[in-house]
Amino acid sequence: MRPVAVAAFAQTTHTGHDTGLSEPELILPVIRAVREQSGLTEFGFTCSGSCDYLAGAPFSFVSALDALGAWPPIQESHVEMDAAFALYEAWVRLQHGDVDSALVYGFGKSSMGDLREIMTLQLDPYYLAPLGLDQLSYAGLQGCAVSSTTADIARRSWESAQTNPYALKLPEPVETAPITDGAAAIVLVAGDLLRERTNLAYINGIAHRIDPHYPGMRDLARSASAAAAATAAGVGEGPVDVAELHVQFAHEETILAEALGLSVDTVINPSGGPLAANPVMATGLIRIGEAAARVMDGTATRAVAHATSGPCLQHNLVAVLSRES
């Protein structure tokens, strides 16, 4: 595989309410920040992740391109899911070898609507949606299936978030990810651009796997797809210093730690994780950015990032990052 590395990462100072910013206004500061960090003003490929249902408008990602100044025309793509999966598309695009840089960004303003109701729109409309179960209901079913010290996980996340200037300043620990507005961006580089830079976080492995959509066809106490993605990405090939996990409900950390084979020495979500800030459609990308930041600042030699999509950890992406290619 062609070596690819994270060269820049930026995120907004997240809020739990609508500040009145439009999507382009929300994105623009992080785009400027990663351009400055990377020293790049143009990119060979651009890919974003967002959800039209959050914005309440069709093709809302098109208007978000105003933040990029997409003229002259650029090579651009979009995924209607967390931007971590947009990063996977960008990684694949860089494997082609004809471009050496990619800009990935994600954004979401979940304060504008009923997130729990919106998330039901990803369910099968014939067999699951008519049951009337929302995101919290499915999470509750999974939480009952696993033995987890959710209060301890929530408190640790809350305490870690106190030193994270981008996280929400919650008054107390929560076991469910809070409503959050925010955005994030990452720059990936390959080829000659790797040789021109020294402070990089190399993506040593990245993979995503998916379980059956119907929760009744799965063992909700485990995540087979997360385990498969971790194996494909090479998580078990060395010690993991830091793991940033896309934990929207506290019990999910227990499931994911087992699926990824993390040891007790691995520091999980030192940023506070999604239980401290959950800008939907950017949360998973932030996990990759936070893991990369730990590698780039020397806090971690080897880090793992995780992102998820779908009910009850249905679809999972895992990436391994380190200083060495």
Domains of the chain from N-terminus onward: 4-113+179-195 (3.40.47.10), 138-165+203-322 (3.40.47.10)
User: pLDDT for 298-320, tens place per residue?
Assistant: 999 999 999 999 999 999 999 99
pLDDT higher than threshold 80 for residue 157: yes
Q: How many C-beta atoms surround the C-beta of residue 33 within 10 A?
A: 18
3-class SS letters over 105-149: EEEEEHHHCCHHHHHHHHCCCCCCHHHCCCHHHHHHHHHHHCCCC
Interatomic CA distance for residues 187 and 90, integer angstroms: 10
Q: In what order do the strands lie in the sheet with 181-190?
A: 76-79, 45-49, 101-109, 181-190, 4-11, 201-210, 315-322, 302-309, 242-244, 267-268
Name the helix (H) or strand (E) containing 302.
strand 302-309
pLDDT at residue 62 in the model: 86
Res. 272: pLDDT tops 90: yes
Q: Is the pLDDT of residue 220 over 80?
A: yes
Assessment of whether the complete model's pTM goes beyond 0.95: yes
Q: How confident is the model at residue 325 (pLDDT cuts 50, 70, 90)?
A: confident
Range of weakest confidence among 127-141, 182-196, 257-271: 127-141
Q: How much is the average pLDDT of 35-56?
A: 93
Stretch 231-254: mean pLDDT:
98
pLDDT at 70 over 80: no
CA dihedral sign, ordered 77, 82, 87, 89: negative
Instruction: With a cut of 80, say whether residue 153 has pLDDT above it.
Output: yes
Q: Could you give the 3-state DSSP secondary structure of residue 60?
A: helix
Q: What is the mean pLDDT of residues 124-150?
A: 92
User: pLDDT by residue (tens digit) across 193-218?
Assistant: 999 898 999 999 999 999 999 999 99
Predicted pLDDT of residue 160: 97
List Cα–Cα distances, 281 to 52, 185, 264, 292, in angstroms. Answer: 11, 11, 29, 18
C-alpha 262/C-alpha 225 separation (Å) is 16
Q: How confident is the model at residue 148 (pLDDT cuts 50, 70, 90)?
A: confident
The pLDDT of 179-188, averaged and rounded, is 98
Statement: residue 55 has pLDDT above 90 = no
Pair type for strands 242-244 and 302-309: parallel
User: Which helix (H) or strand (E) element contains residue 194?
Assistant: helix 192-195
pLDDT score for 171: 97
- Nearest Cα to Cα of residue 38 among 74, 69, 10, 18: 10
Q: Which two tokens stand for residue 143?
A: 């939480």
The reported pLDDT for the residue numbered 184 is 98
pLDDT above 70 covers a percentage of the chain that reads 100
